[in-house]
Structure 1
Amino acid sequence: MKNIIIIVCLLLVSTFAKAQELQSYIQEAEANNPDIQAYELRYNIAREKVSEVNTLPNTKISAGYFVSEPETRTGAQRARFSISQMLPWFGTITARENYASSMAEKEFVEIAIAKRKLALSVAQSYYRLYANKANQKVLEDNIQLLQTYERLALTSVEVGKASAVDVLRLQIRQNELQQQKEVLEEEYLAEQTVFNNLLNRKESIAVEVVPEMKIPVEDLVFSNEGLTLNPELIKYDKLYESVEQSELLNQKESGPNLGFGLDYVPVAERPAMNFSDNGKDIVMPMVTLSIPIFNNKYSSVSKQNKLRQQEITSQKNERLNTLETAFAKAKSQRNQARIKFNTQEKNLKQANDAEEILIKNYETGTIDFNDVLDIQELQLKFQINQIASVQMYYVQSAIINYLINQ
């Protein structure tokens, strides 16, 4: 029981170390990826829009000089100076701020979506790198195994228990595996470039992947309810709210605008006349009211907003269906990966037992190197399939994490 507990603890520590290493790459990607930086700049621009809309219309100042001075009872008018300020209806500026804030919140959700997609891409690339390295190691181990068989075959040729053809077949098989290994090395370099580009760093930087990954004994259980918290769906909620704020702004803008102003007219004194208002300047306060009598524009915008909300609701339902399908598919493929892994585990054990039988037969002087090659090929096939199953398991887990994780 103590040994079992120790083994379980070691597996947990190993799994935690793997997760930490991948997470550090994801954090580096989020900090350096230019696409994420572009989304953050877009969000900052949207936030700045809040300050932009918190302004009043331009103040109008005008001045005029009478070329032909009009005469009045109190004197000749020489010039006219005016200043006026239009004010939107009560609450309009607040409505503009709320609308701009809702658009900024939508951009913030876009950042969360972009980060999730980036994390998924980094994880998928990381698991491809792991599978490639693991396959290279399996090929190297099999090449060394074939070299051992080759030495046995050479010894058997010397005593007349095998032919030179057996040795040549073993060598040809080694050449094939060496070719596969070299191809994998080239593929690894290409995938390493993809991975480093996701992190926005030099393509030549070596990527460290864990030497071994195992499928855990039990899967984490997720429910479809977590899908409703996915940023891809929250984005539609924010869009819906922005349309609501747009409609509130439209209602405010359909109201009248108020204007306040002041006219000042300097008046010259009438010569040779003496009365109380002689030369008295004119000061005229003004109030302006702008009424949208023909408001078809605002009615049309209201209808458009209502239709837009219906469109967003339909889009959200369609996206939810897509995410639910992806979630079910990911869970199914993750379960398939476990089934395939367990089957390859059994097959590999039986192939190893067959190999031991062949080795014992060699000790008694009877060995068929054709059987040796067949068993070796089966072992390699099962090992490669196991690695593919592990890769599929973690890739599908990453997809589930993208869909469900809050």
Structure 2
Amino acid sequence: MQHQVSSVQVSASSFQFLITLTLALVAQNFASAQSLESYIEEATASNPEIQAFELRYNIAEEKVNEANWIPNTEVSAGYFLSETETRVGAQRARIGFKQMLPWFGTISARENYASSMAEAEFVEITIAKRKLGLSVAETYYKLYEIRAKQIVLVENIQLLETYERLALTSVEVGKASAVDVLRLQIRQNELVQDKKVLEQQAFGIQAAFNSLLNRDHDVPIETVTELALPEEETAFSYDGLSLNPELLKYDKLYESVAQSELLNQRESAPMIGFGLDYLPVSKRTDMDLFENGKDIVMPMVSVTIPIFNNRYKSISKQNELRQQEIETQKDQRLNVLESALAKAISQRNQARIKFEIQTKNLKQAQDAEEILIKNYETGTIDFNDVLDIQELQVKFQMNLIEAAQMYYVQSALINYLTKQT
């Protein structure tokens, strides 16, 4: 009776893993998504790299205000060491000011150019946030993989302990040898070793995850311990790549070059200046004249003529070449993103195939285990076969976890590449 109870416990323990890993647990998947989303939001709010990008954007925005300027007013003053005599008196000094004004629309062109550069910086923020979210997701699922494997090892260590007790009982009644017991103990030691190695890996992944969130490295991270694959794939389109911020960045850069050229055209136009000179005049004492000692006020208008404008022509040529460069860079980046998307889709499909096959393999291995346990009741159990089946089960369970981890990592990458918002 004791043997029958033990066999039931072994069978129930191993079969439970298959149920928890393969059933579509909608509620738990939803909780997982919510937990991961909260981590991404926290990372976005506190990550120093994102904060640096936001400061760069604030600086670019402030440059719009900087663009609204005109040349400094020029004020001059002079005193005649040797007074110049005029009919109505001697000129004693000269005071003047002059203000140059840019051509019509130049200030607006400067502001438009600064605004286009600020928009390009804003796209950089969007890119940085999406890359950060992807890194958080990848690290989260890696931590899930390690912890799920730890659970598998604990379950199988307990399973081997049960087998060990069965083997000891069999040794007492002459149905097994001490070698069988030792082999079971060696196998347990190997699983304990793997579990401790995974614990150390978990510490490193946890520290990396907390670093993304700008937290202390030892802050606990909550993750799910099981993930089921959805029955249907999330819809996506290659057209979504055209709205990826990594490509939109080049559109903004192209527009900024266009605004730079408009500004160049405005700056190559003449500048108009207005001024006023004031010359105080001393009265003549040797005679009384009409308007004797009347001060001189002289309004002035000046125009700068860009005769030697090779500089502006060169800037126009540079802008044209820059736009061509941006177009080729965008085409190249699109090719890279399309390749990455195709690879992610392929690997996600591979993960689903592996998950389904490993699920079948695990079920068959558990069926074989049940047969071995039933054979124990008739006295024909072979503990070598038990170890082989147990090793296969661990392998299939690990493969299931790795397949699920790969599936969700590739889904996160597909989402990064095709998400429109």
With the shorter chain as reference, the TM-score category is over 0.9
SS in 2 for 1:263: strand
Q: Which residue number in structure 1 is paired with residue 14 of structure 2?
A: none
Query: For each residue in 1:26-74, what CA deviation from the matched residue of structure 2 results, as whole angstroms up to 9, or x when unmatched?
Result: 0000000000000000000000011111011111111111111110011
Question: Structure 1 residue aligned with 2:94, among 80, 92, 98?
Answer: 80
1:394 corresponds to? 408
> Deviations for 1:208-243, whole angstroms, at most 9, x for unmatched residues?
001211111110121100000000000000000000
1:335 alignment counterpart:
349
Q: Say which of 126, 130, 139 aligns to 2:153.
A: 139
Q: Deviations over 1:342-401 (max 9, x none)?
A: 000000000000000000000111100000000000000000000000000000000001
Q: Would the aligned equivalents of 2:283 and 2:292 in 1 still touch at CA under 8 Å?
A: yes
C-alpha offsets along residues 64-87 of structure 1, whole Å, 9 cap, x if unaligned? Answer: 111111100110001100111110
2 CA distance for matches of 1:74 and 1:107? Answer: 64
Residue number in structure 2 paired with 1:5? none
Q: Which structure 1 segments of 5+ residues have no match?
A: 1-8
- 1:91 equivalent to 2:77? Answer no
Q: C-alpha separation between the residues in 1 aligned to 2:214 and 2:315? A: 44
The count of residues paired between Structure 1 and Structure 2 equals: 398
CA-to-aligned-CA distance 1:76-124 (integer Å, 9 cap, x gap): 0011001111101000010000000000000000000000000000000
Q: Does 1:270 align with 2:288?
A: no
Q: Kindly provide the amino acid, as one letter, of the partner of residue 149 in structure 2.
A: N
With 214-223 and 373-382 compared, the bigger mean Cα shift is at 214-223
Partner of 2:383: 369
Map of 2:42 onto structure 1:
28
Distance 1:86 1:147 in 2: 92
Partner of 2:225: 211
Paired-residue identity, %:
71
The equivalent of 2:374 in structure 1 is 360
Instruction: Write the deviation string for residues 221-266 of structure 1: whole angstroms up to 9, x where unpaired.
Output: 2110000000000000000000000000000011001110000000
1:242 aligns with 2:256: yes
Return the alpha-carbon distance in structure 2 between the equivalents of residues 326 and 125 of structure 1.
Answer: 19
Secondary structure at the aligned position of 1:167 is classed as: helix
Paired position in structure 2 for 1:149: 163
State the match for 1:230 in structure 2.
244
In the TM superposition, what is the alpha-carbon distance from 1:11 to its structure 2 partner?
A: 3.2
Q: 2:122 aligns with which of 96, 105, 108?
A: 108
- 2:307 aligned partner: 293
Question: With structure 1 as the length reference, what TM-score do the two structures score?
Answer: 0.97
The question of whether the paired residues in 1 share the 8 Å contact of 2:24 and 2:228 is answered with: no
Runs of 4+ in 1 over 4 A off after TM superposition: none
Q: Counterpart amino acid of 1:360?
A: K
TM-score, normalised on structure 2? 0.94
Match of 1:173 among 179, 187, 196: 187
Tell me which residue corresponds to 1:313.
327
Describe the SS at the equivalent of 1:322.
helix
- 1:269 alignment partner AA: K
1:10 Cα deviation (Å)?
Answer: 7.8
2:348–2:411: 8 Å Cα contact kept in structure 1? yes
